Structure 1
Amino acid sequence: MEAIEHRFLDVNGINMHVAEMGPVNGPVILFIHGFPELWYSWRHQIVALASLGYRAVAPDMRGYGDTDAPSDPRSYTVFHIVGDLIGLLDAVAPHQEKVFVVGHDWGAYMAWFLCLFRPDRVKALVNLSVTLPPRNPKMKIIDMIRAVYGDDYYMCRIQEHGDIEAEFAELGTERIVKEFLTYRHPGPLFLPKGKVFSRPAETPLVLPSWLSEEDVQYYTSKFEKKGFAGGLNYYRNLNLNWELTAPWTGAQVKVPVKFVVGDQDLTYNSLGNKDYIEKGGFKRDVPLLQEVVVMEGVAHFLTQEKPEEISKHIYDFFQKF
């Protein structure tokens, strides 16, 4: 971990914090994190892949950690985020026409759009947890989700700016970090008003073996400083993204892809994702999908829960190219 380098880059109008490791001229792997995470979620993969000759690059995404967090919620659309990533690639890999990409959660979502908008920059993709969100031209995303799961579903609860932040503040940053990172229920996540997590706030939380108090304190220190609003703003742009991406209705991702998900992951067990993966929809929309791995007994934060296995999945796929 001490060998990981840190620097700040001016990309797409924001100051972005980036963690890097590996040979300067090695093939770049761009790691894109999700919510509520940081570059730190890739700490195991950065070290592992750097030791195998790759240049691992993991930013704190817009709104997170030591990267700028614009105050306007509408500054977090897919176009802003993909713009950040292209600016980052121009800065860290100016002589590499294409790079490898790994995404998890919101990072996976943004990686899909990076591949849709700029396939010329991506050699191959390993995406974790979140499948390609095919655009339904007849219904906005949040409207569709609300119709299925109601107002307490977490994506719906997050929509009103400042509302869920106030509840998070009441519970405290450390508690929120622990609640999310230890969540293992294989089904839809509901955050009812006034009772955002099902157990009382005073109930002690036992950390799994793969998550230390030191890890929790790192996340907590960064979210204490930055707050959760930047990360939550990604959710608040789901309907706006739906409007802006109308030209890509029916578009396919045409880069080589490997997809990995845990069978206990809430994303795998909600919104019809299992059927989408197993009944041909996923392969239809991602024709170069080469492999789907469903990890038994593994939940959402698989990069940390099963670090060696995830690093091996990434390496085994990328060494083909």
Structure 2
Amino acid sequence: MTEMEGIEHRTVQVNGINMHIAEKGQGPLILFLHGFPELWYSWRHQITALASLGYRAVAPDLRGFGDTDAPDSPTSYTCLHVVGDLIALLDAIAPDQDKVFVVGHDWGAYLAWLLCLFRPDRVKALVNLSVAFMPRNPQRKFIESMKAVYGDDYYMCRFQEPGVMEAEFAKLGTARVMKEFLTYRNPGPLFLPKDKMFGHPQDAPIVLPSWLSEDDVNYYASKFEKTGFTGALNYYRNLDLTWELTAAWTEVQVKVPVKFIVGDQDLVYNSLDAKDFIHKGGFKKYVPLLEEVVVMEGVAHFINQEKPDEISKHIHDFIVKFH
């Protein structure tokens, strides 16, 4: 893996936890935020590409993931905890940079929106992948809304009960779970019914796409084998608590410059009326400095790994305007 050469790894203390970061390069800082079930490793291509263009690329393992500590308390994974980690991390590693560039994907995109909502003073510009801004519905809690729309087998609903999905993932095996998620290409909501998890026999062979190697899968699997999935799943288990904690930000706009990129086969883009929200004015209403929406044809959810060079170029083309 020549791409991994020159990426440095270290641990930074933030808010009482040890956070693992991967970094490369010098210059304006770009903070890369990963999703589920991922790690800093999801950004391996972009770290190298952007470092070569004169940036300092930094990708942490978020709390509960990889080599970063996973607090025991299930409620230690609200948006305030995780965004708090990001601010503390920036204070520790870039005290000379008032504002940084942020790039997020999946859960990382959700957290990036909240980072910009809570602390726009710290963000120069944002490039977000896959997950558009989701305005808070003051009438109904998040998981309640998901159940009303998609029912109990919708993946976010299935993740709620502590221990249940952990046991089902253990039955499948960690490497198998990683392959199932990373190769998932059904352009619609993800359902994980008990005993029929991904809609095919559990021993059906999974052919890896060209952008994902066995080595990649093994890296992810080795880290999740060590930590388990509880820390990662706790993000979903705190969605309703986050809903309560963000009441003060109802109807508040995200006021940083934004570029949004999504694949047309992405499960999120094809769920919850996301297309209408993105393309018919809702998105721009809540993110008034949204400058560009890019829809990539034939691309699914793990867009930064499936189309790494294109994504790196999209990131650079946008942030270079804000030096």
Q: Deviations over 1:34-59 (max 9, x none)?
A: 00000000000000000000000000
Residue 32 (1) aligns with residue 33 (2): yes
Q: Deviations over 1:160-184 (max 9, x none)?
A: 0101110000010000000000000
Quick one: distance in 2 between partners of 1:160 and 1:194?
16
Residue 12 (1) aligns with residue 23 (2): no
Q: What TM-score do you get using the length of structure 1 for normalisation? A: 0.99
The residue identity in structure 2 corresponding to 1:217 is N
State the Cα distance separating 1:73 from its structure 2 match: 1.2
Residue 145 (1) aligns with residue 146 (2): yes
Quick one: distance in 1 between partners of 2:74 and 2:133?
23
State the Cα distance separating 1:11 from its structure 2 match: 0.4
State the Cα distance separating 1:194 from its structure 2 match: 2.2
Which residue in 2 is equivalent to 1:315?
316
Quick one: distance in 1 between partners of 2:5 and 2:314?
24
Quick one: distance in 1 between partners of 2:139 and 2:229?
31
Aligned residues: 319
Which residue in 2 is equivalent to 1:123?
124
State the Cα distance separating 1:158 from its structure 2 match: 0.3
The residue identity in structure 2 corresponding to 1:158 is F
Which residue in 2 is equivalent to 1:207?
208
Q: Deviations over 1:9-47 (max 9, x none)?
A: 000111000000001xx0000000000000000000000
Quick one: distance in 2 between partners of 1:295 and 1:197?
25
Quick one: distance in 1 between partners of 2:109 and 2:65?
16
The residue identity in structure 1 corresponding to 2:254 is V
Q: What TM-score do you get using the length of structure 2 for normalisation? A: 0.98
- Counterpart of 2:54 in 1: which secondary structure? coil
Runs of 4+ in 1 over 3 A off after TM superposition: none
Quick one: distance in 2 between partners of 1:109 and 1:72?
22
Which residue in 2 is equivalent to 1:276?
277
Matches within 5 A, 1:1-321: 1-23=4-26, 26-321=27-322
- Counterpart of 1:253 in 2: which secondary structure? coil
State the Cα distance separating 1:268 from its structure 2 match: 0.1
Q: Deviations over 1:172-223 (max 9, x none)?
A: 0000000000000000000001221211111110000000000000001000
What stretches of structure 1 of length at least 5 have no aligned partner?
none
Quick one: distance in 1 between partners of 2:251 and 2:19?
32
Quick one: distance in 1 between partners of 2:145 and 2:303?
27
Identical positions, percent: 76
State the Cα distance separating 1:2 from its structure 2 match: 1.6
